[in-house]
Structure 1
Amino acid sequence: MNNHSFIPYGKQSLDEEDIQAVINVLKSDYLTTGPIINQFEEDVAAYVGTKYAVAFSSGTAALHGACFVAGITEGDEVITSPMTFVASTNCILYQGGIPVFADIDANTYNIDPAEIAAKITSKTKAIIPVDFTGQPCDLDRINDIAKKHNLVVIEDAAHAFGATYKDRKVGSISDMTMFSFHPVKHITSGEGGIITTNNKAYYERLLAFRSHGITRDRSVMTENHGPWYYEMQFLGYNYRMTDIQAALGKSQLKKINQFVEQRRKYIEMYNQSFAGTPQITIPYQKDNVNSSWHLYVIRLNVDLLTCERKEIYEALLAEKIGVNVHYIPVYQQPYYKNLGYKEGICPHAEELYQEMITIPLFPAMSEEDVNCVISSVQRVINKFSKQVWTYEDFSNYSSKNGVN
């Protein structure tokens, strides 16, 4: 067993500049809604190359806002991936909509555009593609499908801040894009999220939605009692980010390129170490995208192992490696089962769930940490590997991995 401290699967990377940025706000006149929020929004918009950005108290709140301004209402269908955190679909339910799950591509683990096209009905209102692990979805095909059917694309890029698709920054491509600033993400504001868009009407609607549906814009008010007057024009929410959060996010944003490059460096170490391990399938990388690598997911070739995934998971925890599983297909959650979703609707996602493990990846790791993870994974895999491959083992492995 490795003689090292516990290595979590993800962790924030903070420095003195970040701490000082928060202290400066604590000493200022504004703690909640102040000038730093707008500055942070402008910085994010400039970074991804979009006209507008609206910050929220969480990524979930941001997705809810996007669903609202997209006009999703009772009975509307929204197509999305089952291989995601429940927030990607709960936001549909908040608006009374119906999540429709399209299966994933067996290589990228992202939503399959062909599956999206097959699920469209007269009730479909939007598509929520999820950039799983930081690798952008097939955005051109998805947006082409959306335009053909007059659908809104709300890209869940919680994993993909800093990623590029055909030399374009994620965040500048879809109708709306959500980024998360949870501590394990690429940059953090403690909690927080943001929507980027080039649509001015969406932008203005999002601003009001995050603040109770209230506006102070004289040009859209129905009355004007004086300079103090404001109007609540629809039922919004208190989803505002604070200046404290925005200050941390603004400081973190200065380091985004450094953080992403560090992640990519560690990815190369992992790939080089595991590429020759037949019991593991390493992540597939498309040529026209550059993932920002929020997660590193290994897939177990179960035919070559003597145990279930659970035993390998527990053995890695015993090695003090903070593994995780991302994700349980959303419709397998009890709440969704009670809504009527059945097993078997997305077989690729269900099969992946049974075979995947997330291993540690974050910029604050050292190379020594990465090497500890590598040696632990290899040691555990070797422990549970079949000593002799049967013809059937090799055939199963070959069919899954394209070996001739």
Structure 2
Amino acid sequence: MTIPYGRQDINEQDIQAVVDVLKSDWLTQGPTIPRFEEAVASHCGGKYAIAVTNATSALHIACLALGVGPGDVVWTSPNTFVASSNCALYCGATVDFVDIDARTYNMSVEKLREKLVLAESKGRLPKVVIPVHFAGQSCEMREIKALADQYGFRIIEDASHAIGGRYLGEPVGNCRYSDIVIFSFHPVKIITTAEGGMAVTNNPELDVRLRLFRSHGITRDTELMVGKSAGAWDYEQIALGYNYRMTDIHAALGVSQMNRLEEFCERRRALAARYNEALKDLPIGLPWQHPDTESSFHLYPIRCLGSNASDGRRAVFDKLRAVDIIVNVHYRPVHTQPYYQKLGFAVGDFPVAEQFYSQAISIPMFAALSDDSAITVINAISSAVRG
């Protein structure tokens, strides 16, 4: 039996929710979209939620809503998928990175502080910083927000991995320490809409801008229109936007999945606890959890240690895949990608992220993973590592 590193959990209620929409009058731009947005906002404690096609489009319009453009600088983590930095490039801005903390694998607050001091001396402070909640564990947002207040940058939380997670006892996504929070609903994430994303904010002006950029920059709101409306059919394009609208079909799956969000997270945490106990005596690194956080465990990355960790990682990776445990690696540091090296980045720029990448393997972690399959994974890792 093949065991993937992640997969969706779809039940009959999810299927029926989608079928109900397919039989309705609204396949897109209908009432299920606001229902899904309300469900996410209610869970997080955020005021406004804007559903979009995927987290990449959510990151893009978040940058646009904050006015990111040519001449601006955006900083993010190198330990992430390329979308976290690409979104700034879409806007014509310049991207830079802040190295990660060796324990949490998230953006290092100390490295951020040091980089800000240097940037201020050069008159080149970032307009926006995008911390990434890697694997489902929140960054140290209180400290990052304090630096934002001191140095005047805005914050987009890339919480693509982290819906259902908590920070300082509160849900990730409440925007207490940021301007906008982004979620992803890809099939391997905590909940899925097949493809989909969400931007959450507490700022009513950002809510208006995000909705405009989601849908071509078009409005029917007479208070936003430049001229007088000619009638109920009339609309105006008042910004250059995109077609980033989620369909009601996808939203219906999201509404149904939200009913099981806590169940999914509890199961992932139980699996993480099981892995922690079973793997603790092996010569590998396990994901450390900051006491201020409660991860949703989108990923469970182990690290192969030792002087030849990269070779060891490859050997363990190959052994696990050979027995149909489809482990993965998250992520090749963004600055080492060929496209980013053409922009001037080089191997060695962010050594902690590079070291983590050389050691990391993401092992199976998803709510539908059975206890028997978890035992199979544990035994296979033990054999591969000891071998």
Shorter-chain TM-score bucket reads over 0.9
CA drift of 1:114 comes to 1.9
Equivalent residue for 1:274, pick from 268, 279, 295: 279
Separation in 1, partners of 2:260, 2:137:
20
Separation in 1, partners of 2:303, 2:44:
31
Aligned twin of 1:392:
none
Letter in 2 for 1:57: T
Equivalent residue for 1:202, pick from 203, 206, 212: 206
Aligned twin of 2:184:
180
Greater Rg, structure 1 or structure 2?
A: 1
Relative to the length of structure 2, the TM-score reads 0.96
Instruction: Determine whether 1:244 maps to 2:249.
Output: yes
Letter in 1 for 2:140: D
SS at match of 1:142: helix
| Contact 1:329–1:353 under 8 Å retained in 2 | yes
Separation in 2, partners of 1:246, 1:305:
43
Instruction: Determine whether 1:109 maps to 2:105.
Output: yes
Separation in 1, partners of 2:89, 2:195:
22
Aligned twin of 2:293:
289
Q: 1:226 to 1:305 in 2, by over 3 A?
A: closer
Over residues 238-273 of structure 1, what are the superposed CA-to-partner deviations in whole Å (9 max), with x where a residue is unaligned? 000000000000000000000000000100110001
Question: Which structure 2 residues correspond to residues 25-36 of structure 1 after superposition, within 5 A?
Answer: 25-36=21-32
Equivalent residue for 2:133, pick from 128, 131, 134: 131
Aligned twin of 1:218:
222
CA drift of 1:308 comes to 3.2
Equivalent residue for 1:253, pick from 245, 248, 258: 258
Separation in 2, partners of 1:99, 1:114:
19
Aligned twin of 2:18:
22
Letter in 2 for 1:19: I
Aligned twin of 2:162:
160
Instruction: Determine whether 1:77 maps to 2:82.
Output: no
Instruction: Determine whether 1:96 maps to 2:100.
Output: no
Equivalent residue for 1:349, pick from 326, 331, 353: 353
SS at match of 1:303: coil
| Contact 1:302–1:355 under 8 Å retained in 2 | no
Letter in 2 for 1:346: F
Aligned twin of 1:192:
196
SS at match of 1:308: helix
Query: Structure 1 runs of 4+ off > 4 angstroms?
Result: 304-307
Letter in 2 for 1:84: T
CA drift of 1:222 comes to 1.1
Aligned twin of 1:339:
343
CA drift of 1:117 comes to 2.3
Separation in 2, partners of 1:116, 1:301:
26
Equivalent residue for 1:8, pick from 1, 4, 11: 4
Over residues 274-299 of structure 1, what are the superposed CA-to-partner deviations in whole Å (9 max), with x where a residue is unaligned? 1111x201110111110110000001
Instruction: Determine whether 1:317 maps to 2:324.
Output: no
Q: 1:222 to 1:356 in 2, by over 3 A?
A: same
Over residues 128-167 of structure 1, what are the superposed CA-to-partner deviations in whole Å (9 max), with x where a residue is unaligned? 0000000100000011111112211000001111111101
Letter in 1 for 2:11: D
| Contact 2:159–2:183 under 8 Å retained in 1 | yes
Equivalent residue for 1:265, pick from 260, 264, 270: 270
Aligned twin of 1:151:
153
Separation in 1, partners of 2:358, 2:310:
15
Q: 1:293 to 1:229 in 2, by over 3 A?
A: same
Relative to the length of structure 1, the TM-score reads 0.92
Letter in 2 for 1:317: R
| Contact 1:64–1:92 under 8 Å retained in 2 | yes
Separation in 2, partners of 1:147, 1:354:
35
Structure 2: gaps of 5 or more residues: none
Separation in 1, partners of 2:222, 2:311:
67
SS at match of 2:362: strand
CA RMSD of aligned residues (A): 1.2
Structure 1: gaps of 5 or more residues: 384-404
| Contact 2:132–2:158 under 8 Å retained in 1 | yes
Separation in 2, partners of 1:354, 1:38:
43
| Contact 2:78–2:98 under 8 Å retained in 1 | yes
Separation in 2, partners of 1:306, 1:161:
31
Separation in 1, partners of 2:47, 2:88:
25
CA drift of 1:306 comes to 11
Separation in 2, partners of 1:35, 1:6:
39
Instruction: Determine whether 1:45 maps to 2:49.
Output: no
Over residues 39-75 of structure 1, what are the superposed CA-to-partner deviations in whole Å (9 max), with x where a residue is unaligned? 1101110000011100000010000010000111012
| Contact 2:309–2:359 under 8 Å retained in 1 | no
Separation in 2, partners of 1:292, 1:345:
30
SS at match of 2:173: coil
Separation in 1, partners of 2:385, 2:308:
10
| Contact 2:302–2:361 under 8 Å retained in 1 | yes
Q: 1:47 to 1:306 in 2, by over 3 A?
A: closer
Aligned twin of 1:364:
368
CA drift of 1:302 comes to 2.5
